[in-house]
Structure 1
Amino acid sequence: MKRLLLVSCLLLLLGSCIKDAPKNPEADITSFSIDPKQLTGDTFIDQANGKILLYLTKEAYEQGVVPTITVSKNAKIYPSSGEKINFNTTGQITYTVTAERPENKKNYVIQVINVGDWSFEFEKWGQNDNDKWEYPIEDDLSTVWSSGNEGVAISGVAKDPLAYPTRSTTDGYMGTRAAEMVTIKGTALSAFVGIYLYAGSLYIGNFNPSVVLTQPLAATEFGEPYVGLPGRFTGYYKYVPGANYQDENQNIIPGRTDECTIYAVLFEGTQRLNGTNILTSDRVVAKAVLNDGSMKSAFTKFDIPFVYRQGWTAQAGTKMMMAIVTSSSKEGDHYRGALGSRLVVDHLAVIPK
């Protein structure tokens, strides 16, 4: 009896010492899956801005889709996974995820990307709520352009649009605004990991912050779905290189002058290419590359034909993607260039055959 009482007392003491496990505070959508036959491009979850970007066929848009959604452990989502989304209804479609710790919630807005219009005037711009970097938006308020600004924000720049390498400018060719890219000095934090400059960049696609620290080139995900075949890539630009070209270790390279880069690439499939393979992948079928990246103090028009891969022919049903890439320093993806290099682009367009 004494032993039984002793064991009971020990169990009571242990029970009083064990606390309930803390509730999970995370409220994320971790996957958002739709029947691949209804997609023209892979779905992208923009965690930083609370958006889910959908690339749908015309039929899927008209008939609606039924997504399969997973969320953080023990979180709840409304509308629920498996509930049909209808896009022909008015109003914004928003998912709300409530964490196991119920005071934590996160909203995700569904955004269907328009794949039909490939002319860009850069008249409208949005601003990130937290870090204040700018990004172009289209007339239908969709966002197809990304930049390195989101990665630069991690390095601790001031929360001011002008502190970032990519932003809007009133110094455009036509209209009220254009896109400006400037190669800027890195921060104290970026220097700690060996990054001494950031080139301004603007490209069609998405920025993936989850890999930026381990695979910075893979963080730039290029491409949006494209219907048909392109014939020419046109637009206006001006460019002034910075005074002193430096390598990735801040060594000044005498006699070297910085260059800008502007090109468009057509490739097969629905998965985006990235900074490691955008010009070298065997999925690339056509390129339109500006070969002259030298100084142009006044706006200069370019009209570049797409050069198709020899022997390639379009197959019925093949899904295609298009990327447009621009940067104030041609080798800025390797942190080489000249501080102060400035590129302005305006009225870019992909003209179909």
Structure 2
Amino acid sequence: MRLKDLLTCTIGIFLCTSCIKDEAPNAEADIEKCILPADILSGTEIDYNLPFDESLNAYPIYIEVNNGTDLTAQAPTFELTPGATINPASGTTHNFTKPVRYTTTSEDGKWHRTYAISLHYPSTTNIPTSFHFETVKKVSNYYVFYEEAPGHATLTWASGNQGFALTGGGNSPEEYPTTISSEGRSGNCLKLVTHTTGDLGNKVGKPIAAGNLFIGKFELLNALGDALAATKFGTTFYYQPTKLTGYYKYKAGPKFYENGEYTDRKDVFNIYALFYEKDDKVQTLDGHIATNNYEHPNMVALAIIDQADAVETEEWKRFELPFDYERFGKTIDLEKLAKGQYNISIILSASKNGDEFKGAPGSTLLIDDLEIEYK
């Protein structure tokens, strides 16, 4: 089921007219699955619902393949929405050393969509370990943060902005929960703000959206069902992290919203980082980790701000969060570490309970000069 079907069916009567229109037969043109030989794939998770990328002028699909795979001659086949066609044709051979563009057409011929499909090898270099939040790109109507550093793989941060876009609440990037600010310690910084989600959010039981940023990816199709599963935390890390440091400013919103009403509860932000082992069954952890008190069989170490230290401040306040390895009783397997079998993620939120759609609208967290220390 595509996103628009899921959205309209969830909202029900509220959008019944739109639902009838969206469900008109033969009016979709989506790639639902891209099929390549299983023995060349290095992972099974492929996101088919990434937002439109203006730099590619297409909807991107990224597929990770094993090192040594011949990218010059691959012939993916596709599963499309019923009746749709694709050009170039499914099963034809192409050179994927650069993204290959495909155009889908709905059965009635009225709808088209252009995809850019990229095959890439697993990164053998670390992501940057210092983050200054100076660079963003505009995707749809919101900002996406990314970090580049010589000798490192580019890191693209994820956020819930894509889900907030469904509410129609952001008319410009600055009106989204996750945005950029010029009020950094030097230059720009990250700005996270908790917002209400309007009538639409209330009707689907998600009345607030906490500004958040994390290393991983946001799966939009899960956002309306199991919202915690929509946040996939983690990327490969080849070092043993020892400490997460940085600076913050914070102001809680005036009234905390939970269980359908405003209360006198005080909002608080959250900063934490996960370090965990990957295996055949677990490639990423998701938002359920926080509701499970950060416990999971694959967890190796946790760095988290003590809530007594998560205070309101108008001045930049430094934090140092050591990675706690003793909690999980794990030791690092250096051979696995060298092979990229460990993941790291950093998660930042303007409202600690925002993953449960509880928080104070207006709560604002600024973050700058974040760094992972490691050995």
TM value normalised by structure 1 = 0.79
1:311 maps to 2:320: no
- Deviation, 1:283, is 1.6
Change (3 A) 1:33 1:188: same
Match of 1:27 in 2: 29
Match of 1:329 in 2: 351
Contact 1:76/1:100 (<8 A) preserved:
no
AA matched with 1:43:
I
- Deviation, 1:332, is 1.0
Q: Which of 300, 319, 326 in structure 2 is aligned with 1:302?
A: 319
Q: Aligned partners of 2:77, 2:238: CA distance in 1, in Å?
A: 27
Contact 2:236/2:340 (<8 A) preserved:
no
Of 205-214 and 164-173, deviating more is: 205-214
Q: Which of 171, 178, 181 in structure 2 is aligned with 1:159?
A: 171
Contact 2:94/2:100 (<8 A) preserved:
no
Match of 1:289 in 2: 304
Alignment of 1:160-175 (within 5 A): 160-175=172-187
Q: Deviations over 1:136-187 (max 9, x none)?
A: 1344996621211121121221422232211111111223x22100112231
Select the structure of larger CA radius of gyration: 1
Contact 1:149/1:166 (<8 A) preserved:
yes
- Deviation, 1:334, is 1.2
AA matched with 1:320:
Y
- Deviation, 1:122, is 1.7
Alignment of 1:32-181 (within 5 A): 32-33=34-35, 35=38, 38-39=41-42, 42-49=45-52, 50-55=59-64, 59-60=68-69, 67=76, 69-74=78-83, 75-78=85-88, 80-81=90-91, 83=93, 85-87=95-97, 92-110=99-117, 116-118=126-128, 119-129=130-140, 132-139=141-148, 144-175=156-187, 177-181=188-192
- Deviation, 1:320, is 2.2
1:239 maps to 2:230: no
TM value normalised by structure 2 = 0.75
Of 242-251 and 29-38, deviating more is: 29-38
Change (3 A) 1:99 1:195: closer
Alignment of 1:265-280 (within 5 A): 265-269=274-278, 271-277=283-289, 279-280=294-295
Q: Aligned partners of 1:42, 1:36: CA distance in 2, in Å?
A: 14
Contact 1:236/1:301 (<8 A) preserved:
yes
Change (3 A) 1:187 1:323: same
1:351 maps to 2:373: yes
- Deviation, 1:201, is 0.8
Q: Aligned partners of 2:39, 2:364: CA distance in 1, in Å?
A: 41
Q: Deviations over 1:262-307 (max 9, x none)?
A: 1111222263222123523222211111222222322223332222
- Deviation, 1:92, is 4.4
- Deviation, 1:352, is 3.0
Change (3 A) 1:123 1:64: farther
Change (3 A) 1:85 1:346: farther
Q: In the comparison of the two structures, how many residue pairs are matched?
A: 324
Change (3 A) 1:313 1:224: closer
AA matched with 2:285:
L
- Deviation, 1:64, is 8.0
Change (3 A) 1:47 1:136: closer
Q: Aligned partners of 2:263, 2:92: CA distance in 1, in Å?
A: 57
Contact 1:38/1:60 (<8 A) preserved:
no
Identity %: 28
Change (3 A) 1:96 1:24: same
- Superposition RMSD on alpha carbons, in Å? 3.1
Q: Deviations over 1:233-285 (max 9, x none)?
A: 222222122233332322313xx422111111122226322212352322221
- Residue 47 of structure 2 aligns to a residue whose secondary structure is strand
Match of 1:7 in 2: none
- Residue 251 of structure 1 aligns to a residue whose secondary structure is strand
Alignment of 1:199-214 (within 5 A): 199-214=210-225
Contact 2:177/2:210 (<8 A) preserved:
yes
Q: Aligned partners of 1:79, 1:144: CA distance in 2, in Å?
A: 31
- Residue 317 of structure 2 aligns to a residue whose secondary structure is strand
- Residue 253 of structure 2 aligns to a residue whose secondary structure is coil
Q: Aligned partners of 2:102, 2:215: CA distance in 1, in Å?
A: 26
Q: Aligned partners of 1:228, 1:268: CA distance in 2, in Å?
A: 12
5+ long unaligned stretches in structure 1:
1-21
